[in-house]
Structure 1
Amino acid sequence: MSLPLIMIATCLVAFTLGGLTMWPSVRRLRNRLSDATWQLEHDPVTGMLNRAGLLATHASLAEAASSQPIVVVLIDLDDFKPVNDTHGHDRGDDVLAAIGGRIADIAAIHGGTAARLSGDEFAALLPVRTADLARIADTFVALIAQPVNLTADGAPVAVTVTASVGIALAESTDPFEEVALRRADIGMYHAKRHGRNRHVVYEPGMAMPDVEHRRGSRLRDRRLSNEATA
């Protein structure tokens, strides 16, 4: 074999061996990047999508097809703070994870997806398969109110949490936070105002309740307000 051929063969062998040696590192790096991407779009407590993940899901839906109606559900747990105060934040996280699982299951049954937006606030994005939005919302209200069985201080305990639910129709091409989620948010606050542990279906023209009937402005509300005055 001539010297040039020997050099070429040596280079090929070295390149192959180097690739084989580097492959585990490349695979580990790829796994780390995949994990980092998952963490960016998922809530660590419940494993559900987070706000960024839900926004990405809506963006994909809006880009995939022409405008189509969607159902948006906003769920806010009623008086969740006493759960943490009584049983501790770890058990509180267990309750959030259990309720989040129920919400995700209901969303999946209806062909949609769900997310934990922040704290004790959840949302679901569903395709329109029925005009009976009240029945869908009632399912969320009823299943969330079922007791969550857990162990606290070595003893079994059943924790019951209720939710106020707002549900609304929107177009898939509508701005998600400014229109779709905002409508569901208005419905949710009306549910709070009328006694909690219930739902309200958003109707065109429905306005946000007065401040005294709300528990304070949210980051989303303050951001929209700042954008409007900028």
Structure 2
Amino acid sequence: MLADAAWQLTHDPLTGLLNRTGLRTVHTTIALGQPQPIIVMLIDLDQFKEVNDTHGHDAGDNLLTQIADRLAQLAHTYGGTVARLSGDEFAAILPVRDHSISRLADLLTTVIAAPAEVHVDSGPVTVTVTASVGVAIVASTDPMEDVALHHADTAMYHAKHQGGDQHNLYTPGMTMPGREHRRGPRPRDLRRDQGGSGR
């Protein structure tokens, strides 16, 4: 029972991926080791709301689990980990090593954009979504929320602002683009605005 409770605290019940708490735990473990650069990616699906609106939430959940499996396999291949933060937003932490960061991000957008078969009342339906991906290279000792995810979030919104289905690398001094593409404030933004830490 204790093991089950611990799993539930650190994992997303729908996809089985780590949740935000689980990702923070992984990051803390990395930060306690040898200081090193790491890749942090924030992934936001571009047309997920349309899938939900057209085919229903069960189909949307089905799609999320398939995309989660694809992301988990890719992250595992490259020595990293992936989490579902909320809704249709995912994050990944990967070691830099000798990986081509651009190639990694291209692979990630490609696996997400592959067609997926979801089940609706009338039978199976093939749907396709793309993703906007923000990429940040940070020190493993940098704070998770206020540096790593913040930088990746900023880069992700540049990718979304430019039409989606692409990745954008955070560069020093980059700021948020116009926010007309937001579907509303993120939970972490609301908590920060209310005086919380965003955690």
**Class of the TM-score when normalised by the shorter of the 2 chains:** over 0.9
Map 1:47-86 onto structure 2 (within 5 A).
Answer: 47-63=16-32, 65-86=33-54
TM-score, normalization: structure 1? 0.81
Structure richer in helix, relative to its length: 1
Asked if the contact 2:62/2:119 (under 8 Å) is kept, the reply is no
Tell me, yes or no, if the aligned pair for 1:133 and 1:201 is still in contact at 8 Å.
no
- C-alpha separation in 2, matches of 1:77 and 1:83: 11
Q: How does 1:3-82 map to 2 (within 5 A)?
A: 32-63=1-32, 65-82=33-50
The number of equivalent residue pairs is 197
Query: Structure 1 residues 218-227 or 200-209, which shifts more?
Result: 218-227
Tell me how far 1:53 sits from its aligned partner: 0.3
**Off by >2 Å, runs of 4+ in structure 1:** 210-217, 221-229
TM-superposition CA deviations, 1:108-163 (whole Å, max 9, x none): 11100000000000000001123621111111111100010133224221010111
Query: Cα deviation per residue 1:198-227 (whole Å; 9 max; x = unaligned)?
Result: 110111111111233433321222333444
Contact 2:161 2:178 in 1 (8 A): no
Q: Which runs of 5+ in 2 are unaligned?
A: none
- What CA distance in whole angstroms lies between the structure 2 residues aligned with 1:184 and 1:130? 20
Amino acid at match of 2:110: A
The structure showing larger relative contact order (alpha-carbon pairs under 8 Å, at least 6 residues apart) is 2
Q: Which shifted more, 193-202 or 128-137? A: 128-137
Matched, 1:101 2:69: yes
Q: What does residue 141 of structure 1 align with? A: 109
TM-score normalized by the length of structure 2: 0.93
SS of the residue 1:208 aligns to: coil
3-state DSSP class of the match of 1:45?
Answer: coil
Q: Deviations over 1:63-121 (max 9, x none)?
A: 1x132100000000013112112222112111000001111111111100000000000
Aligned-residue identity in percent: 56
Distance in structure 2 (CA, Å) of the matches to 1:209 and 1:216 = 15
Paired amino acid for 2:61: D
Structure 1: which 5+ residue stretches go unaligned? 1-31
149, 153, 156: which one pairs with 1:188? 156
Most deviating of 217-226 and 173-182 = 217-226
C-alpha deviation, 1:187, in angstroms:
0.7
Q: Secondary structure at the match of 1:73?
A: strand
Residue 128 of structure 1 pairs with residue 96 of structure 2: yes
- Residue 110 of structure 1 contacts residue 129 of structure 1 at CA under 8 Å; is this kept in 2? no
Aligned residue for 1:205, secondary structure, equals: coil
The answer to whether residue 129 in structure 2 is matched with residue 161 in structure 1 is: yes
Structure with bigger gyration radius: 1
Alignment RMSD: 1.7
